[in-house]
């Protein structure tokens, strides 16, 4: 089976691809300019690979789940590039381990890579609720979870995440760690629901993916709907006195948020 190559979806990957393209069109240019360009391209191009090489490897179950996801002929609004992958998965697993989170919520599970990565760091009596809208993605996730001992900790809720959050609130659930990675236009509502429904334990961490949105918030003259939504979300978080946050330039940007009042 032919597996389509993933296109660049991070600011660094996009910049590296642009520099490669510019370089290929500069035949005959000043050698000093070409040398500087080659250096800039190398700095950017090799970064993701180097970061991956210096990060603990993914488990066989995660590698299999990634391979399975890449082999699926995605169409419509789902694509293989949605999968967070090795380095972000390792980051999330580390976050669970160092916070000691035992009750974890994921909003936007896709085929389950990040959910399984987090579950791998959780003790046997912990649990992770993973919300996903799409049946097909959820079915692939369930297959992957069944093939791993950590998969037994994951409770999949299929449907609009906002409905699942309201149900979790009504059931009196609360979480130590929340990973938001669903529709970008819904991010602000998800954060409001977490705060308003008391779904966050004291000291809980909310981790939000794609907060650099391929550079659109600062480098696009005509942002997409998603770019505009992320720009508005980042501004809303920064303006909220109840919250403290840090945006890490990991992959497509990850923001860590905690409630301070
Ligand atoms: C970027 S992907 C998640 C990737 C996943 N966290 C991972 O690391 O592999 C976003 C997912 O959110 C789901 N989604 C979009 N809107 C949603 C909604 N309203 N409720 C629940 N899930 C939603 C999409 O179907 C998609 O699978």
If you take atom 18 of ligand 1, which residue's CA is the nearest one? 160
Binned at pLDDT 50, 70 and 90, residue 28 comes out as confident
| Separation of CA 242 and ligand 1 centre (Å) | 27
If you take atom 14 of ligand 1, which residue's CA is the nearest one? 182
Q: According to the model, what pLDDT value does residue 4 have?
A: 59
* Burial of 198: CB neighbours in 10 Å, binned 0-12, 13-18, 19+: exposed
Mean pLDDT of 146-175: 98
Token pair for residue 204? 């809980």
Residues of the chain with CATH 3.40.50.150: 60-259
Cα–Cα–Cα angle for 25, 27, 33, rounded to 5 degrees:
90
Q: According to the model, what pLDDT value does residue 9 have?
A: 87
| Separation of CA 34 and ligand 1 centre (Å) | 41
Specify the fold of 60-259.
Rossmann fold (3.40.50)
Pocket around ligand 1 at a 6 A CB cut-off? 78, 82-84, 108-111, 113-114, 131-134, 137, 160-161, 181-183, 186
The pTM for the full model equals: 0.95
| Separation of CA 160 and ligand 1 centre (Å) | 10
| Separation of CA 250 and ligand 1 centre (Å) | 19
Helix axes 60-71, 86-99, angle to 10 degrees: 140
Q: According to the model, what pLDDT value does residue 3 have?
A: 53
Mean pLDDT of 156-170: 98
| Separation of CA 172 and ligand 1 centre (Å) | 24
Mean pLDDT of 49-75: 96
Beta pairing class for 254-259 and 200-209: antiparallel
Write down the residue that tokens 């009750």 correspond to. 103
């Amino acid at each position: 089976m032919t597996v389509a190559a993933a296109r660049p979806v991070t600011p660094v990957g996009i910049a590296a691809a642009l520099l490669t393209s510019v370089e290929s069109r500069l035949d005959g240019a000043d050698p000093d300019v070409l040398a500087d360009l080659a250096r800039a391209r190398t700095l950017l191009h090799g970064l993701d690979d180097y970061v991956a090489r210096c990060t603990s490897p993914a488990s066989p179950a995660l590698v299999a789940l990634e391979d399975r996801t890449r082999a699926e002929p995605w169409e419509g609004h789902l694509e293989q590039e949605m999968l967070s992958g090795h380095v972000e998965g390792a980051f999330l697993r580390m976050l669970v381990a160092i916070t000691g989170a035992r009750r974890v919520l994921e909003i936007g599970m896709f085929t389950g890579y990040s959910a399984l990565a987090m579950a791998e760091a959780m003790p046997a009596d912990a649990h992770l609720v993973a919300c996903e809208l799409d049946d097909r993605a959820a079915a692939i996730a369930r297959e992957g979870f069944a093939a791993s001992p950590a998969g037994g900790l994951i409770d999949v809720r299929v449907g609009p995440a906002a409905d699942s959050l309201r149900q979790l609130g009504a059931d009196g659930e609360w979480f130590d760690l929340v990973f938001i990675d669903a529709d970008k236009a819904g991010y602000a509502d998800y954060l409001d629901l977490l705060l308003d429904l008391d779904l966050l334990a004291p000291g809980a961490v909310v981790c939000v993916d794609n907060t650099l949105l391929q550079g659109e918030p600062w480098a696009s003259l005509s942002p997409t709907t998603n770019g505009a939504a992320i720009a508005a979300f980042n501004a809303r978080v920064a303006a909220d006195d109840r919250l403290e946050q840090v945006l890490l330039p990991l992959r497509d940007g990850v923001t860590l948020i905690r409630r301070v009042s």
